[in-house]
Amino acid sequence: MSRETVILTLSGAKGKDLVVMRAIRGVMTGIAMLASTCTDTSDPSDSVRTYRMGFSAIPPRLDFDLLVRSLDMWSTRADAAIMHVSVPWKGLIEGLSADSLLTLDGIGIAQYYISKQLGLTVMLDVTDGLNRAAEAPELVALGRSITEPAVQQLYRQYARAVASRLNPDHLGLAAETNLIRVAAPAPVYNAVVAMTNAAAADLRAEGMGASLYVSVQVETAWGRLQGTNQFLGVERDFQDFPFMQVLGLSSYPYLGGFTEPEQIPQDYFTRVRGSHNLEMLLVEGGWASQSAGGFTTSAGKQARYIRHLAKVADASGLIRWFQLSFTDLDASAFPDAPPILTLFATLGLVTTELQPKPSLQVWDSLYAVRRKT
C-alpha cells in the first residue's frame, strides 16, 4: 500500500527507499560530499505552522544527476525529510550485519539531510508495501516469514541499528498496521504486533531518543478503501501498539472515493486519533495529477488538494507533513512495472523533467509565507 514502495519495487529492491543508491554505486559517497557543500543555514524554528514539511529522495528514474537535482530542488522548500525503508531481509538472513547494511544504504543520505537541517523521520516497512495481504517479497522468495522468531530477531537488530546510526527524530516500526490487520492472515498481523513491541522495548532499554510510532491507513480507518464508508477507527492499533508516542498517518484520499479535495473533512485525521493525546505525522500521502484506473483528476485538482490539506493539517495540529514524491515517476524507465503504477506515477509536485506543476506553487506559498515568529 505504501506508494514509495510501489515506486521503488519497480527497480528491484522491493520497497527500499534507498534502492537508487544500490542501483547507482557511488551515490552515497556523492551525497555525503554534497552535504559538506550545501548546508542550509535557515532556522526551522522560524515557522508558524505546527508542522514541518518535506519529501523523500525518490528521483523520476535511476539517474544520479536527476537525483542530485531533485534533492537540491526540494531541500530548499522543506524543513523535514523522511526515509521509508523496507527491512533488508535477504542481507540480514544471509548474515550481513544491520550496521553494514545501513552503511551501504542509509548513512550518506541521512548525513545529507542533517547537513540541510532537515528533521529526519524514518518509517520501517515490514510487510509487502504493494499488497498488505502479503509478506515482504524478499522473505517470500526465501521461503521465510515474520512469524518465525528468528526472523523477528533480525528485525529487532535492524531497528536498533536504524535508531542508533540514523538517529531520527521519529522512528516508525511498522506501516499501515490497520490495513495489515484487515488484509493479511492473522498470524502475520500477530507477528507484526509481537516484533514491534519487542523492538520498542529494546530501544527504550538502550535509551534511544527517537519518538516511536506505527502508521495507520486513514482511508481504511474511515472504511473508504473497503467501500463501506463505515468509520472503523484505529482503537485496536492503540491497544496493540501501546509504545506509540506519536501517530503516523498514511492517506491517499483520491483512492478512497473522494472526487474533490474539498470533500475531505476537517476532522479527517483527528477523528482517527480519537481521544488519544498523541501528536500526528502524515508520513505518506498525496493526490495524483493525471487520471488513471477509473478516477478522474487534473493538475489543478492536485494543487487544490495541497491547499485544502493545509487546512486539515492546521485543524489537526500535525507536526510533520510529508509528500513522499517530489517528482513524478518516469514509467517508461520501468517496463516491467505492474499496472498499479499508473495510479501513483503522477503524485509529484514537479514532472519527471523537474518542471513545476501548479501544486508546487501552492506548496511553496504554504512553506514560505507561513513562517514561525
Domain ranges for the chain: 3-369
| Residue closest to 216 by CA, chosen among 266, 278, 263 | 278
Amino acid at 148: E
Q: Measured between alpha carbons, how far is residue 168 from residues 8, 107, 255 in Å?
A: 21, 11, 30
* Beta carbons of 286 and 323 less than 8 angstroms apart: yes
Q: Which residues contact 255 (CB under 8 A, 6 or more apart)?
A: 219, 225, 295, 343
Instruction: Measure CA of the first residue to CA of the last residue in the chain; give whole Å.
Output: 38
**Mean pLDDT score of the chain:** 87
Residues 259, 365: Cα–Cα separation, whole Å: 24
Question: What distance in Å separates the CA atoms of residue 224 and residue 131, rounded to the nearest whole number?
Answer: 17
Per-residue pLDDT of 142-199, as tens digits, reads 999 999 999 999 999 999 999 999 999 999 999 999 999 999 999 999 999 999 999 9
Sign for the CA dihedral angle at 289, 354, 66, 284 comes to negative
Is the per-residue pLDDT at 33 higher than 90? no
Contact 344, 293 (CB under 8 A): no
Quote the radius of gyration of the chain (alpha carbons, Å): 19
- What cell was used for 43? 532556522
pLDDT at 46 exceeding the cut of 60: no
HSE at residue 343, side-chain half, CA atoms within 13 A, is: 18
* Neighbour count for residue 82 (Cβ, 10 Å): 30
Is the pTM higher than 0.85?
yes
**CATH no., domain 3-369:** 3.20.20.80
pLDDT category at 337 given cuts 50, 70, 90 is: low
In sequence order, the β-bridge partners of residue 16 are none
CA-CA distance, 201 to 243, in Å (whole number)? 8
Could you tell me which residues come within 8 angstroms of residue 8 by beta carbon, excluding any fewer than 6 positions away?
Answer: 14, 15, 16, 17, 19, 20, 58
Worst-scoring range by mean pLDDT, 54-63, 104-113, 324-333, 353-362?
104-113
Q: Are 151 and 143 in contact (CB under 8 A)?
A: no
